[in-house]
Amino acid sequence: MSGDRCVFCAIARGREEASVVFEDDTVMAFMVLQPVTPGHLLVIPKSHAEGLADLPDDAGLRVWAVAHRLGRALRLSGLRCEGVNLFLADGEAAFQEVFHVHLHVFPRFAGDSFRLQADWRVHERRRLDETAAAVRAGMAALDADPR
């Protein structure tokens, strides 16, 4: 989806409504329409980036810096907040539904309904070392990419 048909781009341009919490030249943060818990926010880059591969480093750093600050603000907000989750889904397999990078920031508390289900078994060191080597190879490929 291009920026022309992207709901988050429309919000960033002021063409769609949003309950904005923070905005600067690079990013915007606003309330989620269907929050996991009260205080659930999205932080987006204002320029369209479908996924992490499309997100310039400087914009990504700003998204995370603002999310960090908002997470701290949630704890001081008076909203029920015993913890904070930062969640970013990159790609359809990761359950990304709106294809414009967005970082969820939401308060957590005992008894809330949010759950992540996975196979949490401990893996053997050999397997972890092999996986670490694959990630290091990916990092080397990024370093070699002239972009």
141 belongs to a structural domain: no
134 belongs to a structural domain: no
Q: What is the pTM of this model?
A: 0.91
136 belongs to a structural domain: no
- Taking 70 as the pLDDT cut, the residues of the chain under it are 1-3, 146-147
pLDDT at residue number 59: 97
The tokens of 69 are what? Answer: 């600050």
122 belongs to a structural domain: no
121 belongs to a structural domain: no
78 belongs to a structural domain: yes
User: What CA–CA distance (Å, rounded) separates 142 from 94?
Assistant: 21
The maximal CA–CA distance of the chain, rounded, in angstroms, is: 52
User: Chain-centre distance of CA 86, in angstroms?
Assistant: 6
pLDDT digits (tens, 9 = 90+) for 68-106: 999 999 999 999 999 999 999 999 999 999 999 999 999
Please give the tally of structural domains in the chain: 1
The tokens of 114 are what? Answer: 């949010």
108 belongs to a structural domain: yes
- Tell me the backbone φ, ψ of residue 54, rounded to 5 degrees: -95, -10
87 belongs to a structural domain: yes
Residue 32: CATH number of its domain: 3.30.428.10
